[in-house]
Amino acid sequence: MWKYYAFRLTYLLLGRLPLRALYGVARVAGDGAYRWRREMRDAVASNMRRLLGPDAGEDEVQRATREVFRNAGRYYADLIHVGRLDVERFYNQRFEIEGEEYLHDAKDSGRGAVLVGTHFGNPEMAVQPLAAKGFSIMGLVEPLEPKALSDFTLWLRERQGHVYRTIGYAGLKETIRRLKSGGLVAILIDRDVAGTGVPMQFCGAEASISLGAVDFAMRTGADLIPAKSWRLPGYGFKVIVEPPVEIIRTGDFEADVRSNTKRLLPIFEELLRSDPGQWAVLEAIWKDQPAKERAVQ
């Protein structure tokens, strides 16, 4: 329970700080975690080596690794701050979006949509300003321990009218119900949270990739819409909503889920490589990790 009490205390102490101050605290916390969480740092650095490629020097790898920790800190700062957002102001002043029409089309047509993305920048924060345009999006997220911590983070995430459910039987059942009723559900593809993913080539090496986004879209007839988001200078976010992906159906459901998932991966490989430090994933993703050249001094 200490994690719950620590985060709840952090929220009580820092929750009314302006975002600039929260990001300052997040930077310090991220730098501290980078320095002292050695095992986690090594895992993130191995991810950065994969994204940056064999020509990247260790200094470049460690700069990107440190930025991942800072962005992870900013994620929690955003979570603490989300209840105080003016979503209309956020949408108009700190948010850029391309392809919003695809969301309206999926919603208005009654087909619904699975929005598939990655842990790049902060996709949860990038969703929040869409509440200003009448969207209520359901996010399927990782359950946390203890349950009190999981429940508290769900409460924070839902402050602007979006809906979040943890991965599990009830969450999966609600996902299907929501899609069949024409709703929008956001699922991230780059971490195999449920442990049910399959090995696929991702950024040049084998990783366990979640099939859930494509599986739900194929089962319900919902649109499958890739969405990319990243942080901008000055506390802003940019989102590009891609056109719906045409789903290939051969009659072999399981094979089709895998093949359609593979077709999504190049979209996100390009995104991750564009600015690796924004990929806020703190565990090693690839089984075959590039060798570490030398230790952090």
pLDDT at 171: 93
Q: Residue 288: how many CB atoms within 10 A of its CB?
A: 10
Single-letter amino acid, residue 290: P
Say yes or no to pLDDT of 116 above 70. Answer: yes
Mean pLDDT of the region 14-28: 95
**Residues 118, 123: Cα–Cα separation, whole Å:** 7
Mind listing the pLDDT tens digit for each residue in 185-207? 999 999 998 888 999 999 999 99
End-to-end CA distance of the chain: 34
Contact 106, 225 (CB under 8 A): yes
Is the model's pLDDT at 289 over the cut of 80? no
Share of the chain above pLDDT 70, in %: 97
Instruction: For residues 260-279, give the mean pLDDT.
Output: 96
Banded pLDDT at 209 (limits 50, 70, 90): very high
Q: For residue 110, give the DSSP letter.
A: T
Residue 238 phi/psi, 5-degree rounding, is: -125, 140
Average pLDDT across the chain, whole number = 94
pLDDT for residue 293 is more than 50: no
Q: What is the DSSP string of 209-275?
A: E--HHHHHHHHHT-EEEEEEEEEETTTEEEEEEPPPPPPP--S-HHHHHHHHHHHHHHHHHHHHHH-
- For 158, phi then psi, to 5°, come to -90, 5
Which tens digit of pLDDT belongs to each residue from 47-78? 999 999 999 999 999 999 999 999 999 999 99
CB 115 within 8 A of CB 185: yes
Contacts of 210 (CB under 8 A, 6+ apart): 187, 188, 189, 190, 191, 192, 193, 194, 196, 197
Instruction: Tell me, yes or no, if the pTM score tops 0.85.
Output: yes
